[in-house]
Amino acid sequence: MELKKNEKLENSRVELEIAVDAAAFSDAVSKAFRKNAKNFNVPGFRKGKAPRHLIEQMYGKDVFHYDAVNEIFPEVYDEAVKAAGIEPVAAPEAELVSTSLEDGAVLKVTVTVKPEVALGEYKGLKATKTVHTVEASEADAEIAQMQQRNARTITREGKAENGDIAVIDFEGFVDGVAFEGGKGENFSLALGSGQFIPGFEEQVVGHVAGEEFDIEVNFPEEYQAKELAGKAATFKIKLHEVKTKELPELDDEFAKDVSEYDTLAELKDSILKRKQEQTDKEDELNVENALVDQVVDGMEVEVPGCMVENRVDEMVRDFEYRLEQQGLKLEMYLQYTNSTMEKFREGFREQAEKQVKIRLALEKIVELEKIEASEEEFDAEIKRIAAAYQMEEEKIRSVVPVDEVKKDLAFNKAIDFIKSNAVVTEEAAKEEKAEEKND
C-alpha cells in the first residue's frame, strides 16, 4: 500500500488516495475469482468449474476487480489511516479510480476525522462551590417513609376519609350504556391519591361499608380514550370495606426491625451521614461541571454532525434498554407520548453535542498535559466494576474494552487537573444563609 495523497478538506474531512501494488491486487483478484466463480454461467461448464480466463472473456477482464477491491479494502484502509495519522469518526466513502493487473488499483477515500480543537483557558479558572447541609428533618422524612412502608392495613368502621383505602365494585355508564374498561370488582382505591378521574374519589369519601351509590363525573377533554373524552358518566358503586393504615411506633424496636441498627437515634444518624455524603458528592460534581463548562465555552471546534448523531444513537440505545428493563418497547413509548423517532432523537441532540465537546476538550487536555491512567488505577477500576456488577474480576477483564476504560480514567484525571488548578470558593446554600441571618 502506498499513500499517494493526504489532503485536508472542509468540515473535518480528509481525502486519501491509496495505491495498491500489482502483486497485492493480482492476489486479491485470484481470491475474488475463487470465491465468486460459482455465480457465473459459462456454456459447457458446471457453475464454479469454468476457468477464470473464460469467465473474463464473457463478462469482461475486470469482472472480479470490484470484488477484489472489497477483499483488500479493510486492510489497506487501516494501513492508510495509520500512515496518514488521522482518527476517523465515521465510515469512509470510497471511490475506485483505476484497476489493472499490470498497475494494481488506485482508490480515493473521503472520511470524516476527529476535528482540531483549540482550547482556551483551562488553568486558573474560577468557580463557586455551593455547600448544602442536610437537615435533621430530611432524615425524619425518610424514616416517615419507612414507617409508611411498614404500616399494617386494617379494616375499620365508619365513614371513608381521604387517606383510607376503599375496596369497591364499580361499573361506568355513558348515556346509560356500559363502556369498555369501566368495570372493576374488589378494587382497592386509595382515596385522595388521584388514581381515578377528577371528582371520583371525592364522592366515595363519606360513605360506609355496605353502601351502594352512584357517582356522577365528567371525563377530561384530554382523556386518553378519545371516545370518552369530555363526556358525562355515571358510576354505580358498591363499597365493601374501608381500610386504613396502622403505623408502627417509631422507637428502637422499629429501628431493629427495618435496619441493622439497635436504636432509632443510630438509624437517624446513619441516614444523615449517608445523605450528607451524597449531597457532598453532588456539590463537588456541580463544581466540576461548572469548570468543565467554562473549558467548553472557551474552546474552538467544529463538531462534525456524524459525531453528534453517533452520540444520539448511543443515548437512544441506553433509553431503549432502560425501557426494556421495565417491560416496555420504544415503539409503545413513542405512541404513548404521541411522538416520532425524529422528535425523540431531536430531544437528545443538544445534550449529545455538549457531551461530544466535553469529550474532545478532555482529550485535548489529556494530550497537552500527558495524562494517562496507571496500571494500578486500571486494576482498581476493574475491582470497582466487578463489585458493582457482582462479577468475577477476570470476567470483567475479558469483556471490558481496556483502551476505553483507560481513556475514561484519563478523562477523570483531566477533570481533577482542571479542578486542582482552579480557584474554588465555598459558600453556604441560600436557604442556609437565610437561616443564619434570621438567627
Tell me the pLDDT of the chain (439 aa) as tens digits. Answer: 899 999 999 989 999 999 999 999 999 999 999 898 888 888 888 887 888 988 888 899 999 999 999 999 999 999 999 999 999 999 999 999 999 999 999 999 999 999 999 999 999 999 999 999 999 999 999 999 999 999 999 999 999 999 999 999 999 999 999 998 899 999 999 999 988 899 999 999 999 999 999 999 999 988 878 889 999 999 999 999 999 989 999 999 999 999 999 999 999 999 999 999 999 999 999 999 999 999 999 999 999 999 999 999 999 999 999 999 988 899 988 988 888 999 999 999 999 999 999 999 999 999 999 999 999 999 999 999 999 989 999 999 999 899 999 999 999 999 999 999 999 999 998 765 545 554 5
- Cβ atoms of 306 and 90 within 8 Å: the answer is yes
Asked whether the whole model's pTM tops 0.85, one would answer: no
Domains and CATH numbers, the chain: 2-112 (3.30.70.1050), 152-246 (3.10.50.40), 262-438 (1.10.3120.10)
pLDDT, position 434: 47
CA angle, 285 then 290 then 296, to 5° = 120
pLDDT, position 279: 97
User: In this structure, how many other beta carbons lie within 10 angstroms of the beta carbon of residue 362?
Assistant: 25
* C-alpha distances in Å from residue 364, one per residue of 79, 91, 295, 368, 410: 25, 23, 11, 6, 11
**Nearest partner of 237 among 207, 282, 277, judged by Cα:** 207
Burial class of residue 269 (count of CB atoms within 10 Å of its CB; 0-12, 13-18, 19+): middle
- Cβ atoms of 255 and 267 within 8 Å: the answer is yes
What CA–CA distance (Å, rounded) separates 342 from 324? 20
What CA–CA distance (Å, rounded) separates 405 from 383? 12
pLDDT, position 1: 87
pLDDT, position 360: 97
